[in-house]
Amino acid sequence: MNNIRPGDKKLNMEKPDKNGRFGKYGGRFVPETLTSSLEEIELEFNKILKDKTFWEELTNLQNDFIGRPTPLYYAKNLSFQISQNLWIKREDLAHTGAHKINNAIGQALLAKRIGKKRIIAETGAGQHGVATATACAMLNLECIVYMGSEDIKRQAPNIYRMEMLGAKVIPVTSGSKTLKDAVNEAIRDWVTNVETTYYIIGSAVGPHPYPYIVREFQSIIGTESRKQILDKTDSLPDYVIACVGGGSNAIGIFSGFIDDETVSLIGVEASGKGLNTDKHAATLTKGSPGVLHGSMSYVLQDEYGQILEAHSISAGLDYPGVGPEHSYLKDIERAKYYAATDDVALKGFKLLSVTEGIIPALEPAHALGFLIDWCKEIPKNQNILFLLSGRGDKDMEIVSKKMESN
């Protein structure tokens, strides 16, 4: 995968500046107790960026443990149906069933380098929790996962998986009992156990250097996709589309195309019951700049800066914040962000299942459902690269209940 072909440009996504900012977003807004740990993580991460032995170890695990490179699949039936060329990047086929494993393995290795043996994580859909539990089982680390009690109900299969892998799942019952509250609780644990514990954040959010770390570990998606689509079509895609919760899968694939000006980057958030209701999670569309979970970014908040509860049928997108780099890409208009409702996501879920034989996770089903309608407004036969960030096993119960009641 390392050969750069003629016509390929060297990828050069911006690093955050020395204050950990992407434009005005990012930074490090956490209790002082975490400062020394964040500095240590930053130092060690900058070291491993240049450390060949680290990347060799990671590459081996990516190939033999995660099963990379994941395929790029031409969705013939669906392409015909929508009169476009739809290419699907199959992160659903990565070990544990979602892109989250790319980041979890990378950070678990980093934690080992730093010398921390107790790992904590938050999880929404349970995919990051499962990925972290998996990495910890394989690398022999203790693993504690915080999960909102509402999410425990709607993503039950993933709780069994985490426990089978030896992780301890701690239910979080504060606030909306979803992802935001799980992150709060993980940060409180971290502040308390900072000297023994490494926090593996699951998305491109959090205080600097986390958004940068997560992007770098997810950028493998973009690197592979770019190579694969060039191999198969001899051209770059016209559009790259991914769902955005905190934004890790999206930033991973965007990073491969950021310098390719002809490629439009599109992120799709969850608009729950609709953008005109108060039950949505469309942070970039409806939010405003503020501070949540350690960084400055778009957030859903009231006029006094209290964070609002998000809503989405998908636990992985049900978050009132978003990664700082997406906020930056939105403001400079390098990427465009839209939102898809619960119903649109369900439509995408069903459609991919019956036309292509692939059951998607509810999170990327938002991006797919969106694209089915949206692509009517663009010229026909465009090359569209859609990132299928995960598979839908975890969502079968909630989706079948919904479909019965609709």
Partner 1 sequence: MFINETITNNKKTSIIPFITCGFPKRKNFIDLLFALEKSGSTLIEIGIPNSDPLAEGLTIQYSSNIAIKNGVNTHECIKTVRQARKKGLKIPIVLMGYYNNILAYDMNKFCKEAKESGVNGLIVADLPINESKPLVNILNQYSIDFIPLLSINSSKEIIKKATKLATGFIYCVSVLGVTGERNIVFDRVKDLVEQVKKHTNVPVAVGFGISTKSDITNIIKFADAAVVGSALINKLKDTKNDKIIEVASNFISELF
Ligand X SMILES: Cc1ncc(COP(=O)(O)O)c(C=O)c1O
Our finding on whether 180 is near partner 1 (CB under 8 A) is yes
Active-site residue, selected from the candidate residues 44, 79, 89, 100: 100
Q: Is 172 in the site for partner 1 (CB under 8 A)?
A: no
Q: Assess 209 for contact with ligand X (CB under 6 A).
A: no
**What is the rounded distance in angstroms from the CA atom of residue 299 to the CA atom of residue 11?**
29
Q: Shortest CA distance to 242 belongs to which of 220, 261, 262, 264?
A: 264
Q: Is 299 helix (H, G, I), strand (E, B) or coil?
A: strand
Q: Binding to partner 1 (CB under 8 A): which residues in 306-335?
A: 306-307
Q: Cα–Cα distances in Å, from 235 out to 10, 112, 239?
A: 16, 40, 12
Q: Of 35-43, 124-132, 281-289, 327-335, which segment contacts ligand X by CB under 6 A?
A: 124-132
Catalytic annotation present for 52: no
- In this structure, which amino acid lies at residue 379? P
Contact call for residues 301 and 291 (beta carbons, < 8 A): no
Q: Taking Cα atoms as reference points, which of 122, 71, 72, 74 lies closest to residue 100?
A: 122
x/- map, 156-195, ligand X, by CB under 6 A: ----------------------------------------
C-alpha 205/C-alpha 249 separation (Å) is 12
- Give the containing element (helix H, strand E) for 22: strand 21-22
The CB-of-43 to partner 1 minimum distance in angstroms stands at: 12
Where are the alpha helices (H) located in 290-395, listed in sequence order?
324-331, 342-356, 362-374
* Binding partner of 41, given partner 1, ligand X, none, CB within 5-8 angstroms per partner class: none
Pair 283, 203: CB distance under 8 Å: no
Taking the complex as a whole, the smallest distance from the CB of residue 194 to ligand X amounts, in Å, to 24
Known catalytic membership, residue 203? no
Contact set for ligand X, span 369-398 (CB under 6 A): 389-390
**Binding to partner 1 by residue 179, rule CB under 8 A?**
no
Q: Cα 87 to the chain's mean position, in Å?
A: 19
389 assigned to active site: yes
Residues 351/82/243/125 CA torsion (nearest 10 deg): 10
Q: Among the options 271, 295, 314, 389, which is catalytic?
A: 389
**In sequence order, what are the beta bridge partners of 270?**
281, 340
Q: Can you tell me which residue has the tokens 């039936």?
A: 77
With contacts defined by CB under 8 A, name the span among 100-108, 158-166, 190-198, 247-255 that binds partner 1.
190-198
158: its two tokens = 């993933």
258 binding partner (options partner 1, ligand X, none; Cβ < 5 to 8 Å by kind): none
The item of partner 1, ligand X, none sharing an interface with residue 36, based on CB under 5 to 8 Å by kind, is partner 1
Least Å from the CB of residue 288 to partner 1: 8
Of 42, 44, 122, 150, the active-site residue reads: 122
> Hey, what are 160's tokens?
């069994």
Q: Is 292 in the site for partner 1 (CB under 8 A)?
A: yes
Per partner kind, with CB cut-offs from 5 to 8 A, the member of partner 1, ligand X, none near residue 372 is none
The DSSP bridge pattern shows strands 383-388 and 85-90 to be parallel
Six token digits for residue 157:
């299969």
- Cβ atoms 396, 98 nearer than 8 A: no
Question: What residue spans of 140-209 are helical by DSSP H?
Answer: 149-154, 156-164, 179-192
Letters for 150-169 (x = contact with partner 1 by CB under 8 A, - = none) are --------------------
Burial of 276 (0-12, 13-18, 19+ CB in 10 A): exposed
- Polymer length in residues for the chain: 406
Site for ligand X in 216-275 (CB under 6 A): 243-250
Interaction pattern, residues 272-291, with partner 1; x per rule: CB under 8 A: ------------------xx
Q: Does residue number 303 form part of the binding site for partner 1 (CB under 8 A)?
A: yes
Q: Which is nearer to partner 1, 288 or 381 (CB)?
A: 288
Shortest distance, position 198 Cβ to partner 1, whole Å: 15
Binding site for ligand X (CB under 6 A): 98, 100, 124-125, 127-128, 203, 243-250, 316-317, 361, 363-364, 389-390
Q: Which residues are catalytic?
A: 100, 122, 389
Q: Which residues bind partner 1 (CB under 8 A)?
A: 27-37, 39, 174-175, 180, 184, 187-188, 191-195, 290-294, 299, 301, 303-307
